[in-house]
Amino acid sequence: MVNEVVKIGRYTVGNGHPLLFIAGPCVMESEAMVMQVAEHLASLRDQHGLQIVFKSSFDKANRTSVDSYRGPGMEAGLRLLEKVTQATGLPTTTDIHEASQAVPCAEVCSILQIPAFLARQTDLIVACADAAVARKICVNVKKPQFVAPEDTQHAVKKCEARGLRDVLLTERGTTFGYGRLVNDFRCVPIMKSFGVPVVYDATHSVQLPGGATTGGQREMVSPLARAAVAIGCDAVFFETHPDPDHAKSDGPNMVPLVEFEKLVRQLTVLRETVLSL
């Protein structure tokens, strides 16, 4: 059986526990920018007693345009994630796109994240599960945009089959026609019924796919995140950036770093209210 409550370092995620926040810039643009965001998040953790995991990608392998910036690559990216943890104490996570990346990423990260487009790839899930078991960390599987919430149980079962008990599932929107994502918030309790903590991806849910670069509705991040917390998600995923309008990836849907504190404080109060009912 998988665990209803998952330990991530000093954090505890799941029913009856405080929210986990997974946050950071979409892609690693520079060491200075990554450290700026990480230090800001660590400061919020310390001020407000928050559970925060730092996230950023070393390779955006699913960019729409061949000319789009993808990141520094795995070797440089993992060194930078190591520096984040050493400097701030924040656990880290990053996207895994190939089975061969699972072991080296597990040596650095506390969560191995499987992107939504790849969440049906058995070899990738198995590799991540095996690496997570060996390092006693967890795997976060993002629900594909084209998959019903009920069908995410198969990804959980693949992890279970490899002996992994610490699994997270993430809701990140469902394809509705062309160039539009919608959130069916029934996904949260349905996926929680598989016995795992559920994450709500507030920024990718507001993407507007299509064209050479992805658009987004940043103004919808806050209301959708509040709705997800109200219905019972255990963690919220945000991409945040000091200057989203000039970011190299996903700028239109990222939360400006200066606005992040207000948002997480709102969600923390809402989570406390939900747990008190």
Burial 60-93 (b: 16+ CB within 10 A, else e): bbebeeeeeebbbebeebbebbeebbeebebbbb
**Residue 180: how many other CB atoms lie within 10 Å:** 13
* Cα 188 from Cα 179, distance rounded (Å): 23
Q: Are 115 and 89 in contact (CB under 8 A)?
A: no
pLDDT above 70: percentage of residues in the chain: 98
pLDDT given for residue 68 in this prediction: 82
Q: Of how many residues is the chain composed?
A: 277
Q: Are 134 and 162 in contact (CB under 8 A)?
A: no
Tell me which DSSP letter residue 18 carries.
P
* Cα 54 from Cα 10, distance rounded (Å): 14
Q: Are 218 and 26 in contact (CB under 8 A)?
A: no
Return the CATH number at 205. Answer: 3.20.20.70
pLDDT beyond 70 at 170 = yes
pLDDT beyond 90 at 87 = yes
pLDDT given for residue 208 in this prediction: 87
Structure confidence at residue 213 as a pLDDT band (50, 70, 90): low
Query: Average pLDDT of the chain?
Result: 95
Give the count of domains, the chain: 1
- Give the predicted TM-score (pTM) of the model: 0.96
pLDDT given for residue 95 in this prediction: 97
Which residue would you say has higher pLDDT here, 63 or 258?
258
pLDDT tens digits, one per residue of 10-34 = 999 999 999 999 999 999 999 999 9
Q: Show the domain range for 224.
A: 5-276
Of 85, 81, 91, 21, the C-alpha closest to 57 is: 81
pLDDT above 90: percentage of residues in the chain: 90
Using the Cα atoms of residue 20, residue 228, residue 222 and residue 63 in order, give the sign of their dihedral.
positive
Q: Are 229 and 188 in contact (CB under 8 A)?
A: no
pLDDT beyond 70 at 210 = no
